[in-house]
Each structure stands twice: as structure tokens, then as C-alpha cells.
Structure 1
């Protein structure tokens, strides 16, 4: 299980859920920006990394090794309602799942922006911009993502299982949603499977104040809320992710969950790298 390689015959699916609640406007430690800005920069870096991984040669076009979804939740698009919508804009606006070649050619903009690991003055593609406002409808976000994950898995029954990565800084505000609580929505999502295993749900909780980080725990003991709740809905890390984490000098104990609590910006980037690097790319 969790051994399938990525190929054009059997591409992978990676879905990002991005908390855009009002608390994401807080300054993020020494990152020179807000939580919303840091999370957007980290996501743009990982999206660019996926595009680069999907190219055969420098300057070449991206091959269809991945499909990607980015859903923002919390920022209210219409007065009086809580929103879950694609966080991609421009030519990709409104598209829930996007093939990586289309993502590669359709950034929202290419600009000189402060980016993680970017050289000063570098022009980089931007797909996700920082947005914040309103509440934290995490149940709805997982429910919406689950519908797209289900359809994708049915169409790609032999691919590596879908990976859903949830980035949040707050307490869920819509539990229950549509008659089910957070644990039930997470269970429904992770019950979706391909022949290579069940969908994975990974969670990372951001801390604006520099609180001590807890990386890949095996138990929720000692964590304040929402730590235990997020731990409970996080998937155990498959061996491929554990191996990648250890290769990056991250100590991951056996039985660890795909969860980090009180993450700083550098840890968010490392978590996204571990969560999206799980298999070899074939048929280059």
C-alpha cells in the first residue's frame, strides 16, 4: 500500500485546504508578514516545486503527473455566508481540480515577490494570494474537498491515494455541518480509496506567537485544543512519507500521525515538502 509511482497513466492528486479566517491576519513571528501571507508564500513554493518535478528538462513543459486543488475556507465571498471556494484565480478561477500542465502555464501573475528560498529580485509565479476574514468552516471545507476527491479516485482507481493537506490556525466554527461533525467528515474523506490505499488527511496548525512546536506526534497527550481534535482526524504517515521525512533529517517516530502543532513558517514549508513527496515519478 502507498507504493504506486506517479505517471501520466496514473497521476497523483494533492489537495490543499487553506484557512482564510480572520485570525490569519495576525503577524507571524519573525516572518515579516501575516499568517495569511506566509501560508500563501509556502503554498506558491510547493506548487512551483510540483511544476518543476513534472518537467523533463529545464525550460520544458510540465507533464501530467499530478492534479492539484487549492480550496480556501473562511473568507466570506457573499455577505451572510461562510465560504469554501477555489483559491486559484485568473484563468484557473472556479476550477476545483487542475492538471499540473494547466497550473504550470496559468499563474495568477509572475512578479518580483518575497518568496521562500527565492533569490532577491527573482520573478516567480504566484497562484495563491493572501486572503483573510470571517470564520473557520473546516467541516465544510473537508466535505467540499471530499466530493472532488471521491470523483477523482473513481476516475483514477490505480493511482497513489489522494493527499489532502489542511493548513489552519483556528478552532473549527461549523461543527456540526450538514448533520455531521469534524471527525465524521474526516472519516468520510479518508474512507475514499484507490487500489493503493485510502486517501490521506494531513493537518498543520499554525502558531503566530512562536509557541513550542510539536512535530508528528504519536499521541495527543498534552496538546491544548484544537490539538487533540486535529490529531484525531490526521492519517498515520505511510512508510514512504516517514522515509522522506527522515531523509530530510526530520525525526519521525514509528506510528506518527501526519500532524504538526504550533508550526512556524519554516516548519510549514518542510511539512508541505514531506506531504507532497511520497513516490517516484515514472515515464519521464
Structure 2
């Protein structure tokens, strides 16, 4: 597949698109290593942090309005909030409940609440911050259904924004997919369909973050699957190569990233998760 140039900067006329897929299966209730928080709590905290980070970076000066540099979506799979049971849905609550892709200014204006949240590094340190996504867990891991739903959203978005930087989809999970095949297609086939959606700047990027309750060595942006325990090799095969600009961003952030590295982070802790999300959502600088 043509990797594309991935050089288009974001602007009000050509915004970017970031979608986060959030695992809400039953195993997300497990404690995240020695943090004292569940995987669901840690993942929700990181997602809220990156959404706030995106809003701040789209603000040119203090108290200025957030500019529409991105359309953003967060979709969950596993337990549903809207109706009891298992499925896939928008993870937004409050005024954005049920919404798909939301312009960044609208996101900034519609958190569920603003409350004291623990630091991404130290659970004992708190600060007030907006909350768009709450921690939820239950049921199985219908990842294929989630990718199918997101694929429909990014297909429509790419058609409406042909000159934009391609959509970025980041999947945060702690488990094995439980619905492959789904509607006759396997997980890898659903991912191929997703990453076949393209703008003039290149195909959709699909990155994966694997969380584990066990303390283990972090493996971030590997260039080959060797040494990855299950389901690492499978997630590696699903993950897009990092574009050159993202490789440079990752190196600046202290990651040892080799050419042809994939957008995969395995067994990451909370602070590393946020750094990975920052690398994965950082596109070429917008025009001045």
C-alpha cells in the first residue's frame, strides 16, 4: 500500500480527524499494576487528558476560542451506557452523548463535568479538569464491530475532507477480540478496510495501545514483532507504520524509534500512555 506523504498541516479549512477506540470489556476492571486504579479508570483519565491537550493546542492565546483544527470521536466497545448490555457506541456523555465525530470547539464547550481528577502520574495528586469520558467496564470485546462503525465515520469524513491529513484511529485495549469474524470478515480484514480509506495525503492510520494489569517491560513503537508476547504480534500486524514526521516526534519525546516502526505501544504505564497518545495525535504544524 502507498504510505502517502502525511505532510498536510491542519487548518480551519482542512482539519484533521482523530478517533479513539476505547475497550470497555469486563477485564478493564482489573487494577493497573501498582497504580491503585483500574485499567478503565487509567484509560479514561488518559483519554480526557489528550482531549484537553488537543483543545489547548488549538487555542492561539489565553482565553481565546478553540479553533476547529480537528474533528474528534471516542467510541467504546464492550459495556454500553446508553442501553444495558454489550455493544459499540459513542463514549461521549452529557451534551455530546450519542455523537460521532465532533468539531474541537464543540468538544471543548461540552464536557460532562469539570472535577478534580488524579494526576496521570500520581494518583494522590489531583487537579480540576474537564471530563468527556467516564470509566466503564463489562462484557466481552467486540473490536471488529467497533472498527466497522468507525470505518463508516472516517469514510464519510475523508470524502468531505479530501485534502486533509488522513484520519488517525487509536485503539486502546487490554484484551483479545471476541467477535472475529464479524459479518463475514476477520479482524485483520476489518482493519484493511479501515486503512483503505484515504485522503489525497495518504491512507487512514491505525494505531494500537495494549494495557496489562501486570507489571511488565514497556515496548513502544517496535519495528518488528520479535519479543512481543501475545497478543503483541497480532496487534503489530494490524498497526500502521509511523509516518516520518511522527517518528521524529517520538524521538524528540525520548522514544528509541527505528525506521519502519509501527504505531503500537505494549504494556504501557499511564504516563507512557499519554505520551503515546500525544505522538499519535500530533500532525505537521498548522500554518502560522
TM over 0.5: yes
1:261 Cα shift?
1.4
Runs of 5+ in structure 1 lacking a partner? none
Q: In structure 2, what is the equivalent of residue 96 of structure 1?
A: 100
Q: Equivalent residue of 1:151, what SS?
A: helix
TM-score of the two chains, using structure 1 as the length reference: 0.96
* Match of residue 134, structure 1, among 108, 124, 139: 139
Task: List gaps (5 residues or longer) in structure 2.
Answer: none
The answer on 1:211 being equivalent to 2:216 is: yes
1:41 corresponding residue in structure 2: 45
Matched, 1:8 2:8: no
Tell me the alpha carbon deviations over residues 40-89 of structure 1, each in whole angstroms, 9 at most, x when there is no partner.
Answer: 0100000000000111111111010000000010114545x531100000
Deviation at 1:184, TM superposition (A): 0.3
CA contact (8 A) 2:207 2:264 kept: yes
Contact 2:93 2:112 in 1 (8 A): yes
Q: Is 2:220–2:265's contact at 8 Å kept on the other side of the alignment?
A: yes
Report the CA distance between 1:216 and its aligned residue: 1.2
Following TM superposition, by how much is the alpha carbon of 1:207 offset from its aligned partner in structure 2, in angstroms?
A: 1.3
Superposed CA offset, 1:180-239 (max 9, x none): 000000000001000000000000101111112222112222322211111111000000
Take 1:156 and 1:67, find their aligned partners in 2: how far apart are those partners?
A: 11
1:281 is the counterpart of 2:277: no
Computed over aligned residues only, the root mean square deviation of the Cα atoms, in angstroms, reads 1.5
TM-superposed CA distance for 1:21, in Å, is 0.3
Cα distance in 1 for residues equivalent to 2:125 and 2:227: 41
Task: Name the SS for the 1:113 alignment partner.
Answer: strand
Quote the Cα distance in structure 2 between the aligned partners of 1:129 and 1:282: 34
- Mapped to 1, the partners of 2:214 and 2:11 lie a distance apart of 41
Alignment length (residue pairs): 282
CA deviation map 1:110-136 (0-9, x unaligned)? 112213269955321011110000000
- Residue aligning to 2:261: 256
